[in-house]
Amino acid sequence: MTPDEISTCHIIDALINENRSFALWRIPGESPRFAMQTSGSARLLYNIEELDGQSGFVIAPFHVSEQHPIVLIRPDTTVVPSAWHNRANTMTQPCHRHGTTVPTVGNDKEDYAYRFNLFIEPLRKKAFDKLVLSRHQVVDGQPLSFSPAATFYEAIKRYRYSYVYLCHTPATGTWLGCTPEIILSGEKGEWHTVALAGTQPLQDGELPTEWDDKNREEQEYVAFYIRKQLHALGIKPEESAPSPVRAGELAHLKSDFSFPLPDNRKLGDLLKRLHPTPAVCGLPKEEAYRFIRENEGYDRSYYSGFIGLLAPEGRSDLYVNLRCMNILANTLVLYAGGGILASSEPESEWLETEAKMQTMKRLLEI
């Protein structure tokens, strides 16, 4: 890192310790951007539609609750403050990191196998077409020198094709992630979303050319759902055929949807329709959502929610919060999941969640 980057990292880590509301993010192919709210508190919302007409940096959970509200940072500065500089330099160790509570129930292979059996049963009985089963892993004992900001800078170098962010608010605590999945991006009359699903490792660093039926089917469920949601709004999107894309050391199948929007002040309504797509939830949606919340055995918190800049008057870039971690004092909570179909095998699904968690672990060298 350059001396400038090192000093920026000290400042950003100090902002976390001071419990400020800010976000640092990098859209693929662009330079990092920063936004912070210095006066007043970030806005807490309890309904996705309330995002209509709002602008700011959003962090929304998988399931909105009192404990996990939608948080909207309304930035009044986009420059990393230098006023913290001296203070940051005199700090010898991080203070308590504010955050959400650590989910405590099961994160091991045995628990995953138990949950897998709960999920596969209704899939085999055709009560669901698809369900996404996720898990978390608690990593304790981070060295005092662990720097969220330095991890962000490492991530932007390593993951060129992912959206990388570091965000802190008093309500959400600190989150960092590297996600490949857009939920909604665009400006003026040109909007974009994607159907992303199906996973394989890169083969000798290259995108795989062969995709089996299970992966194709998994991705088609997401595409089907997005098509249906857009059609219900009278939108006829242009849709590309699925093709493989990179996400770190993994590859997924993705199809792109491009469409105009009659009213950019209704982005909350559209997000409410899209979230959660079958890339993180399942089909049929409402039943799958309920099933996951009742049977997954833990609260996903902000994992598999969405995150990013909402700007109805400018450009919005919102992503599904995947390949992420919640950074707590001395503890990290990592998250990953995968789509389960009736044909899924527990061992390969487990290995897929392990591979997805590696996206964060590689940054920690653990």
Contacts with ligand ISC by CB under 6 A lie at: 132, 134, 181, 196-199, 218, 252, 279-280, 322-323, 336-339, 356
β-pair partners for 339: 132
Q: How far is the CB of 41 from ligand ISC (least distance, A)?
A: 30
Cα separation, 366 vs 353, in Å, equals 16
Query: Which residue, 197 or 318, is less far from ligand ISC as judged by CB?
Result: 197
Which helix (H) or strand (E) segment holds residue 65: the answer is: none
Query: Which residue, 275 or 356, is less far from ligand ISC as judged by CB?
Result: 356
Q: How far is the CB of 193 from ligand ISC (least distance, A)?
A: 14
144: left (phi over 0), alpha (psi -120 to 50) or beta: alpha
Which helix (H) or strand (E) segment holds residue 89: the answer is: helix 85-90
Query: Which residue, 198 or 312, is less far from ligand ISC as judged by CB?
Result: 198
Radius of gyration of the CA atoms of the chain, in A? 20
Q: How far is the CB of 346 from ligand ISC (least distance, A)?
A: 14
Q: How far is the CB of 252 from ligand ISC (least distance, A)?
A: 5
Query: Which residue, 88 or 292, is less far from ligand ISC as judged by CB?
Result: 292
Query: Which residue, 107 or 264, is less far from ligand ISC as judged by CB?
Result: 107
Cα separation, 236 vs 191, in Å, equals 12
Query: Which residue, 69 or 177, is less far from ligand ISC as judged by CB?
Result: 177
One-letter identity of residue 68: H
Query: Which residue, 309 or 322, is less far from ligand ISC as judged by CB?
Result: 322
DSSP class of 182? E
Cα separation, 34 vs 44, in Å, equals 20
State both tokens at 176: 């960092």
| CA neighbor of 169 nearest in space, from 16, 45, 304, 60 | 16
SS3 assignment, position 151: helix
Q: How far is the CB of 198 from ligand ISC (least distance, A)?
A: 5
Cα separation, 166 vs 148, in Å, equals 8
Q: How far is the CB of 336 from ligand ISC (least distance, A)?
A: 4
State both tokens at 268: 């909350």
Q: How far is the CB of 335 from ligand ISC (least distance, A)?
A: 6
Within the chain, residue ranges assigned H as helices are 3-17, 85-90, 109-124, 148-158, 213-232, 267-274, 285-295, 346-364
